[in-house]
Amino acid sequence: CRSAGAVEVEPATMVLLGALLSGDWAVADASGRRERSQASGLVSAYTTWYLERRLRSLALVERA
């Protein structure tokens, strides 16, 4: 089950993300525009969410 607001990721996009993660450039180069666009959006959204979460938490850390 997907949670509310979750994106449905195409199997081909998962193949592309796996190829990028493992350095399989031949598979990454052979991917289509749709897969690249979806992968780019996912990576961008995750990076933005993760960095914003981490930076907000810095305010809770006591500075010596």
14, 39 contact by CB (below 8 A)? no
Task: Report whether pLDDT(57) > 80.
Answer: no
Using pLDDT thresholds of 50, 70 and 90, give the confidence band for residue 38: very high
Examine the pLDDT at 21 and tell me if it is beyond 90. yes
What's the predicted TM-score (pTM) here?
Answer: 0.75
Q: pLDDT band at residue 63, thresholds of 50, 70 and 90? A: low
Over residues 13-32, the mean pLDDT reads 98
pLDDT at 5: 82
Task: Report CA 26 to chain centroid distance, whole Å.
Answer: 20
- The residue among 47 and 14 whose pLDDT is bigger is 14
